[in-house]
Amino acid sequence: MTMEIFTANEAKNRFSEVILMSQKEPVKVTRSGKPVAVIVSIDEYNATEELKLRYVREYVQEAFTDIENGNVEDGDTFFQDLITGKYDKT
């Protein structure tokens, strides 16, 4: 997906246009040549937030299932495994 890119100053001067563009696709804003923000429609934002919430709910449900099945570890072991990346999803 390509997105329109505006400097922060351009985005400020053309704010209404940027908002309209963001209804169709995300708009990237840069400052000093570096990306600093992305402006998205409220629908896109809400969809992203819902996806994150669904993802967290799945993890919580998985945790409850592990507890019910006795698949638990003590805190020290868990945090050591967490630090070493045992639970990282790739």
Stated length of the chain? 90
For the whole prediction, is pTM greater than 0.75? no
- For the stretch 21-69, pLDDT in tens is 999 999 999 999 999 999 999 999 999 999 999 999 999 999 999 999 9
- For the stretch 46-58, pLDDT in tens is 999 999 999 999 9
DSSP readout, 33-87? TEEEEEE--HHHHHHHHHHHHHHHHHHHHHHHHHHHTT----HHHHHHHHHHTTT
